[in-house]
Chains A and B, each alone.
Chain A
Amino acid sequence: MKSELKVKAIEKGTVIDHIQASNLYKIMSIIEIEKLDTQIFIGNNLDSQKYGKKAIIKIADKFPSMEDVNKIALIDPNAVINIIRDYQVVEKKKVELPETVSTFIKCINPKCITNHEKVETKFSVHVKDGKVNLKCFYCEKTTGQDNIEVIR
């Protein structure tokens, strides 16, 4: 018997599931959730066998681009993206780390040119000890996963 849904089901759209609870707000930020105009349901601190506490985001009527999927990977490589049509999961996308990321993440180095002039940021993506490290194309300093900040 299926247990009761903690977060309302959507007819069609995207469900981002298996988000580690502590990553929820960063993910909301990175996908710029405030710019979406359709129904959104968010659950946090739900029970999860994997993490103890997980979060879920359900976005009606919107389907993510690969770029969106990759953005999520930077914050939570274990998140799963489900595409929903007619209340059913029709596709599961596993998030994958891109080789480079541009424009939307801030370089942590306050002395970096990207924090001084209007220069779009650009990083190469590296993984060390299971954590994402972003190496700035300009100042060559590393922004670690825990310090990723989205440019608004």
Chain B
Amino acid sequence: MKNKSLVSINDYKKEDYFKILDLAEEFQKNPKQRLLENHVIASLFFEPSTRTRLSFETAIQRLGGKVIGFSEASNSSVSKGESLKDTILTVSRYADLIVMRHPVEGSARYASVVSDKPIINAGDGSNQHPTQCLLDLYSIRKTQGTLENINLFLVGDLKYGRTVHSLLMAMSEFNPVFNFVSPPTLKMPQEYKDFLDEKGIKYYEHDDINENIKHADIIYVTRVQRERFSDPMEYEKVKNSYVIKNKMLEGTKENLRILHPLPRVNEIDTDVDANPKAYYFEQAENGVYTRMALMCKILGVK
């Protein structure tokens, strides 16, 4: 893994992910390890993403590393018309590792081709966001004790949500059962269902959240965005069908945990927050440990 960019969740092997998750666990027990004291890490956010940026920067600071970078393109030389290639070629001469978020798809892969320093993709448009997937895997393993044989409910926008696609691909290694709950217009795309068919993995599709959630080990909720609907009436009709409420969780499994990549709007009612099955803020915290582990592995300090 040393010096190897992470652009897409398929770039690393299963064993690599286990190494990262194991190290993340170590950091959760003892976060104060100044392993990156002699490192400079660039955090290039060509589009704003407060949560992901703060998570990465917290991870770097906790490890004693130094951060350079910008939080949106208007604060950078991009606003003067500089190409991505030139920005990356320059910054790769300053920093040991580049974390980047960019609205253009494939930009992180391109940066990894151009740069002689490793790249971590912190999101490239609707394409990939592999560290989100890593922290999701970490959260599932942490709460269930295993990644194997999980009954996973994916709820919300399953058509455009890149996090659910990456999670589906990654979890497919571990013999899961998938349940897809989405508005008819935002269903899981056929290519992913074909992928599951090929692998012989079971999945079920539902139009609403029903009593089936009693079988769930994990409910992974994503935001249904208004702008995905060409007809605003259609949005109004479906928006409340995909909201998790505390009452629905009666009779669900003890080990059930609710995950959400955040930010949440209204798809998980705030009355769920106090339920011990709510796990989304811990999940966000796990992102810091997972990113600490990933950066240490790539920089070869652990």
Contact = CB atoms under 8 A, between A and B. Distances in A.
A45 B124 CA distance: 45
B105 A117 contact: no
Interface string B76-118: 0000000111000000000000000001111101100000000
Contacts, number: 47
A47 interface: no
B5 interface: no
A111 B110 contact: no
Contacts of A140: 8, 105-106, 127-128
Contacts of B126: 111
A137 interface: yes
Interface in B1-39: 8
B125 interface: yes
Given A139-B127, A140-B8, A140-B127, A113 B105 contact: yes
Given A136-B106, A138-B109, A139-B106, A113 B128 contact: no
Contacts of B125: 111, 139
A118 B103 CA distance: 17
Contacts of A114: 106
A113 B8 contact: no
Nearest to B109: A138
A114 B85 CA distance: 12
Given A117-B83, A140-B127, 14 more contacts: A109-B105, A111-B103, A111-B126, A113-B105, A113-B107, A113-B109, A116-B104, A117-B110, A118-B83, A119-B110, A136-B106, A138-B106, A138-B107, A141-B127
A119 B105 CA distance: 13
Secondary structure class of chain B's binding surface, majority of residues:
loop
A116 B84 CA distance: 10
A31 interface: no
A112 interface: yes
B71 to A, nearest CB: 21
7 contacts: A112-B104, A112-B105, A113-B84, A119-B85, A136-B106, A137-B106, A139-B105
A62 to B, nearest CB: 34
Interface of B: 8, 83-85, 103-107, 109-110, 124-128
A141 B105 CA distance: 9
A138 B110 contact: yes
Contacts of B8: 140
B104 A137 contact: no
Nearest to A137: B109
Interface in A117-137: 117-119, 136-137
A119 to B, nearest CB: 6
A138 B105 CA distance: 7
Contacts of B103: 111
A46 to B, nearest CB: 38
A104 to B, nearest CB: 18
Contacts of B127: 139-141
A137 to B, nearest CB: 7
A73 to B, nearest CB: 24
A86 to B, nearest CB: 48
Contacts of A113: 84, 104-107, 109-110
A117 B109 CA distance: 13
Contacts of B105: 109, 111-113, 138-141
Contacts of B107: 113, 116, 138
Contacts of A119: 85, 110
